[in-house]
A and B are shown apart, each in its own frame.
Chain A
């Protein structure tokens, strides 16, 4: 049973436009959410996170929105750049001592020049 789902395996966006990546979760115990960017044969790079007490967090071109009632979060990238092309993973953790992450399956973002 997937507790974190990214239903879109791929997304193509024109350079300069907005990229919106979506993520849904089922475990109501999750209280911290993260987005990572990953290139092939590299480890994930942390992008942005949000605590469940907030509904929005912004860092430069990246904004994460959290809708707790819908158990849905999204990552907005504005403006999109060709260098943003990568696989994006959302992840969630609960308040357990280890803070293990549960990952979604990833969305391949392609930003077209």
Chain B
């Protein structure tokens, strides 16, 4: 199946710093990528939809100035958590959609903000 990678897998940062998470589709081109956040014992919460070469579409309640998304190529999207705070600590997962309707997910990034 299609492979999506994420880097880093874990990151610990101090409050007030920014963290960048990369999401790559390794063996297919993804015009659309998605960023999710998972809270403990809950399903995935869609944060934003990212289309190559255009601005991301954010879900209601997600601060676009805090969660910066860039989708500069057909295989790479980045999520930057700016001025991170402890409440931003979470498990962030990206996915990439193949030319069809199936989304393939990355392994996730555990962010801990001290």
Contact = CB atoms under 8 A, between A and B. Distances in A.
A and B physically associate: yes
Interface of A: 32, 34, 36, 41-46, 49, 89, 93, 98-101, 103-106
A103 B44 contact: yes
B104 A46 contact: yes
B57 interface: yes
Contacts of B2: 46
Contacts of B57: 98
Nearest to B104: A46
Contacts of A41: 91, 108, 110
B49 A98 contact: yes
Interface stretch (B13-21, B63-71, B74-82, B95-103): B95-103
Contacts of B103: 34, 46, 99, 101
Contact of A104 (B34, B43, B94): B43
B34 to A, nearest CB: 7
A101 B107 CA distance: 18
Contacts of A42: 107-108
B46 interface: yes
Interface string B1-18: 110101000000000000
B33 to A, nearest CB: 10
A45 to B, nearest CB: 7
